[in-house]
Amino acid sequence: MTDHHDHHAHLTDLEALERCAIHGRATLYPERIKIMVGTATCGNAAGAQEVLDAVREEVEGKHLPYAVAETGCIGWCSQEPLLDVWVPGQPRVTYGRVKAKTVRDILAELPEPKADRALAVMTGDDNPITGRRTSYCNGGDRPEATLNGLPTYAELPLFKRQLRIVMRNCGIVDPSSLEEYAARGGYRALWRALFSLTPREVLQEVQLSGLRGRGGAGFPTGRKWQAVCEATGGPKYIICNADEGDPGAYMDRGVLEGDPHSVIEGMIIGGYTMGAHEGVIYVRDEYPLAVARLSEAILQAQRADLLGKDILGSGFSFNIGITRGAGAFVCGEETALIASIEGRVGEPRPRPPYPAERGLWGKPTCINNVETWATVPVIVQRGGTWLAGIGTPKSKGTKVFSLVGNVTNTALIEVPMGTTLADVVNEIGGGVPAGRVCKAVQTGGPSGGCIPAEQLSLPVDYESLTKAGSIMGSGGMIVMDDRTCMVDIARYFLGFLEDESCGKCFSCRVGTQRMREIVNRISLGQGSEEDLQLLEDLAWLVGETSMCGLGQSAPNPVLTTLRYFRDEYLAHIRDKRCPAKVCKSLITYTIDPVVCNGCGACISPCAGGAITGEKKKLHTIEQAKCTKCGACLEACKFDAVLVN
Ligand SMILES: Cc1cc2nc3c(=O)[nH]c(=O)nc-3n(C[C@H](O)[C@H](O)[C@H](O)COP(=O)(O)O)c2cc1C
């Protein structure tokens, strides 16, 4: 992280906040060359720390007068690790899939980065808090120019349709810098709330915005806040739900690692509005970097009088602590989460009473998702009607999605509500890999469902996805092509839910188990047509008789696959055939004697030692040893491996 001096320990007036922002601007947009490496978990997993070390080594070893900084995830996951070079007055140049050993070559070109090994340029960035654009080119007094024909971010299909409100600072600021957050207009909304608006007026703005909770259910945030405002008895509490247990989802992690202050600011404003003085962020322990960056940001905010007693001299006091969860999916459910914070077993309880009435320690509690909290400062700063102008009549604002699976650009994206699934998958995501056919899109994780490719014209909003049998959920979006077996997908999600069911409701505990057994049987080719009716009956029963959302929505993956891909179930049952060639019991790997040229490439990847054959002679697979792992299929460059 960059070297931050603690000159702003006390933000006692607007001038102090502005001075803090000035220091932030100096590191955010320095007058010397700046090298930035995206070191969120996604970048680190791809080797960003090694790249960062190489940059530091080169800069320090050669005494180069360059600033080196870390930043969060800009969302271009398929190109990690990402390195940005910014020469003042020029567009910021992004390099993708950077290796430590290529760092020296990239830096050697400076101060004139060359286009040939770079991906794109960022000519400036839009800031939804201020409503202004910062041009990176020649102090903004010239048109934003690109570099030798490199595409700008604004031109790239991946970024063109995005609108970044929640992720406004991710990949822009150094997440460990309070000053850089302030330079982007951070904590202005808090200032405005504390000194220009009454709690009632803040509530009105949130209500006007039409914001709905981003944790999955889409409950109107203004209504929830009003209930907490009106609840009697105290103390009241604020909770940020950062449990994020859906497989394939990492939106909240991206925000916490890339811009922790945005969540903290939202929570303080929430505390002021609802009369709470204590906040808790519940983060799963598998997110150590998010915990570290949040902890550092909380400490900075405390030192700067943004948290603690008498915030900024307003008379309002508020503090935030972190509770680390052990990673149970059900602990994302609000009442289970509260039980977990209190040190009890993480099991849901019946509602009502809702947490707004009886939450943490039995007191009125407002629990919102990470994205919900990060949107709050923008609402306060720009006004509720500004946000309400984005999206659809019933789903306002933007939504962050982690776009994963069989898609060209795996990415963390933010789009206005109402963007169609087709635009997300085909335009932003670049479609399924070449030669493949899109089959379905899974939204909402284990509580959601599979939407078939024919329905990709659906707009992404709460109502449309629910009507299709899925849900918006927290934002995981898994693209599936023709290599995906829908029976296998249903089996996977049921297995997940069976494992994650807390067991309190008999119907959920045993129902998910029985449903998984039936789908398992079908995938083994041992199912019957009566099983489909049994599955539907069980799904209905589990959904109707479970107490919490886990069981209530557990049928969705099964019901949507049955509704849209019944033929595939029937192929497994009647023909003992898996059309996608995934279910191992129903497929056989053989080698085509006409095509095989005996190159031997398939022999060593075969962990079971099933493949034999002399060089340049036909190879064969011994069926008893074949584990059907598919390694030979991947290794063969001549399409000689057959799966039937
Ligand atoms: C099984 C289950 C898991 C959940 N997991 C999460 C989660 O990881 N994050 C989250 O914000 N909400 C999760 N929720 C929803 C929460 O119960 C709650 O509705 C949400 O935190 C409220 O915040 P919001 O109004 O901002 O969406 C989950 C619900 C269920 C039933």
DSSP E strands in 131-268: the ranges are 132-135, 236-242
Question: Could you give the angle at which helices 260-274 and 188-196 cross, rounded to 10 degrees?
Answer: 10
Length of the chain, in residues = 644
Which pLDDT band holds residue 140 (cuts at 50, 70, 90)? low
Torsion of CA 387, 390, 394, 395, to 10 degrees: -90
Q: Which atom of ligand 1 is nearest to the CA of 212?
A: 25
Q: Whose CA is nearest to atom 30 of ligand 1?
A: 333
Is it the case that residue 139 has pLDDT exceeding 90? no
Contacts 24+ apart (CB under 8 A), 512-517: 512/542, 512/551, 512/554, 514/538, 515/539, 515/542, 515/554, 515/555, 515/558, 516/491
Contact 567, 609 (CB under 8 A): no
Q: Higher confidence at residue 141 or residue 632? A: 632
At residue 141, the pLDDT reads 56
Tell me the pLDDT tens digit for each residue of 513-544.
Answer: 999 999 999 999 999 999 999 999 999 999 99
Q: Is 474 in the pocket of ligand 1 (CB under 6 A)?
A: yes
Q: Could you tell which of 241, 508, 542 is best to mutate to test the pocket of ligand 1, judged by most ligand atoms within 8 Å of the CB?
A: 241
Tell me the pLDDT tens digit for each residue of 178-205.
Answer: 999 999 999 999 999 999 999 999 999 9
Q: Higher confidence at residue 138 or residue 562? A: 562
Which tokens hold the place of 49?
């720390």
pLDDT above 90 covers a percentage of the chain that reads 91
Tell me the pLDDT tens digit for each residue of 566-620.
Answer: 999 999 999 999 999 999 999 999 999 999 999 999 999 999 999 999 999 999 9
> Longest C-alpha distance within the chain, in Å?
84
| Residue 313: partners with Cβ closer than 8 Å, 6 or more residues away | 12, 13, 305
Which tokens hold the place of 278?
């204590």
Q: Looking at residues 17-44, what average pLDDT do you find? A: 95
Q: Could you tell which of 212, 225, 333 is best to mutate to test the pocket of ligand 1, judged by most ligand atoms within 8 Å of the CB?
A: 333
Does residue 352 have a cis peptide bond before it, meaning omega lies within 30 degrees of 0?
Answer: yes
Contact 543, 551 (CB under 8 A): yes
Q: Is 365 in the pocket of ligand 1 (CB under 6 A)?
A: no
Q: Is 368 in the pocket of ligand 1 (CB under 6 A)?
A: yes
At residue 3, the pLDDT reads 45
Choose among 311, 419, 5: nearest CA to 176: 5
Write down the mean pLDDT value for the chain: 95
DSSP structural state of residue 185:
T
Which tokens hold the place of 100?
């430590």
Is it the case that residue 6 has pLDDT exceeding 50? no
At residue 146, the pLDDT reads 74
Choose among 474, 440, 447: nearest CA to 368: 474
Q: Is 278 in the pocket of ligand 1 (CB under 6 A)?
A: no
Q: Could you tell which of 223, 369, 504, 509 is best to mutate to test the pocket of ligand 1, judged by most ligand atoms within 8 Å of the CB?
A: 369
d(CA 507, CA 24): 55
| Residue 389: partners with Cβ closer than 8 Å, 6 or more residues away | none
Is it the case that residue 99 has pLDDT exceeding 90? yes
Q: Is 219 in the pocket of ligand 1 (CB under 6 A)?
A: yes
How many angstroms does the Cα of residue 559 sit away from the middle of ligand 1?
22
Q: Which atom of ligand 1 is nearest to the CA of 330?
A: 1
Contact 79, 14 (CB under 8 A): no
DSSP structural state of residue 122:
E
Contact 552, 546 (CB under 8 A): yes
Choose among 274, 267, 270: nearest CA to 294: 267
Q: Whose CA is nearest to atom 12 of ligand 1?
A: 215
d(CA 124, CA 114): 19
DSSP E strands in 288-331: the ranges are 319-325
Q: How many CB atoms lie within 10 A of CB 276?
A: 24
Tell me the pLDDT tens digit for each residue of 285-299.
Answer: 999 999 999 999 999
Q: Which atom of ligand 1 is nearest to the CA of 549?
A: 31
Q: Looking at residues 159-177, what average pLDDT do you find? A: 97
Tell me the pLDDT tens digit for each residue of 372-387.
Answer: 999 999 999 999 999 9
How many angstroms does the Cα of residue 473 sit away from the middle of ligand 1?
9
Which tokens hold the place of 302?
């405390």
How many angstroms does the Cα of residue 144 sit away from the middle of ligand 1?
42
Q: Looking at residues 88-98, what average pLDDT do you find? A: 94
Q: Is 476 in the pocket of ligand 1 (CB under 6 A)?
A: no
Tell me the pLDDT tens digit for each residue of 306-345.
Answer: 999 999 999 999 999 999 999 999 999 999 999 999 999 9
3-class DSSP assignment, residue 280 = strand
Choose among 413, 329, 310: nearest CA to 371: 413
How many angstroms does the Cα of residue 461 sit away from the middle of ligand 1?
17
Contact 372, 211 (CB under 8 A): yes
Contact 440, 486 (CB under 8 A): yes
The helix or strand, by DSSP H or E, that contains position 212, with its residue range, turns out to be: none
Q: Is 328 in the pocket of ligand 1 (CB under 6 A)?
A: no
Q: Looking at residues 424-431, what average pLDDT do you find? A: 97
How many angstroms does the Cα of residue 106 sit away from the middle of ligand 1?
44
How many angstroms does the Cα of residue 596 sit away from the middle of ligand 1?
53
At residue 11, the pLDDT reads 80
3-class DSSP assignment, residue 506 = helix
Q: Whose CA is nearest to atom 2 of ligand 1?
A: 333
Tell me the pLDDT tens digit for each residue of 463-475.
Answer: 999 999 888 888 9
Does residue 235 have a cis peptide bond before it, meaning omega lies within 30 degrees of 0?
Answer: yes
Is it the case that residue 24 has pLDDT exceeding 60? yes
At residue 138, the pLDDT reads 72
Which pLDDT band holds residue 2 (cuts at 50, 70, 90)? very low
At residue 9, the pLDDT reads 55
Task: Give the rounded distance of the alpha carbon of 97 from its chain centre.
Answer: 20
3-class DSSP assignment, residue 301 = helix
pLDDT above 70 covers a percentage of the chain that reads 98
Q: Is 220 in the pocket of ligand 1 (CB under 6 A)?
A: no
Which pLDDT band holds residue 10 (cuts at 50, 70, 90)? confident
For 574-626, the DSSP string reads HS---TTS--GGG--EEE-TTT-----TTTTT-TT--EE--TTS--EE-TTT-
Assign 3-class secondary structure to 409-465.
CCEEEEEECCCEHHHHHHHHCCCCCCCCCEEEEEECHHHCEEEEHHHCCCECCHHHH
Q: Is 334 in the pocket of ligand 1 (CB under 6 A)?
A: yes
Is it the case that residue 437 has pLDDT exceeding 80? yes
Q: Whose CA is nearest to atom 24 of ligand 1?
A: 213
Q: Which atom of ligand 1 is nearest to the CA of 372?
A: 26
Q: Which atom of ligand 1 is nearest to the CA of 336?
A: 17
| Residue 599: partners with Cβ closer than 8 Å, 6 or more residues away | 616, 637, 638
The alpha carbons of the chain give a radius of gyration, in whole angstroms, of 26
Which pLDDT band holds residue 409 (cuts at 50, 70, 90)? very high
**Residue keyed to tokens 């598998």:** 286
DSSP structural state of residue 111:
T
Q: Please count the CA atoms within 13 angstroms of the CA of 364 that sit on its side-chain side.
A: 20
d(CA 371, CA 400): 8
Q: Is 549 in the pocket of ligand 1 (CB under 6 A)?
A: yes
Q: Is 367 in the pocket of ligand 1 (CB under 6 A)?
A: yes
For 374-410, the DSSP string reads HHHHHHHHH-HHHHHTSB-SSSBSEEEEEEEES-SS-
The pTM (predicted TM-score) of the whole model is 0.95
d(CA 42, CA 377): 26
Which pLDDT band holds residue 14 (cuts at 50, 70, 90)? confident
d(CA 499, CA 324): 21
At residue 137, the pLDDT reads 82
Q: Is 330 in the pocket of ligand 1 (CB under 6 A)?
A: yes
Q: How many CB atoms lie within 10 A of CB 292?
A: 15
d(CA 131, CA 188): 13
DSSP E strands in 96-226: the ranges are 120-122, 124-127, 132-135
Q: Is 333 in the pocket of ligand 1 (CB under 6 A)?
A: yes
How many angstroms does the Cα of residue 474 sit away from the middle of ligand 1?
8
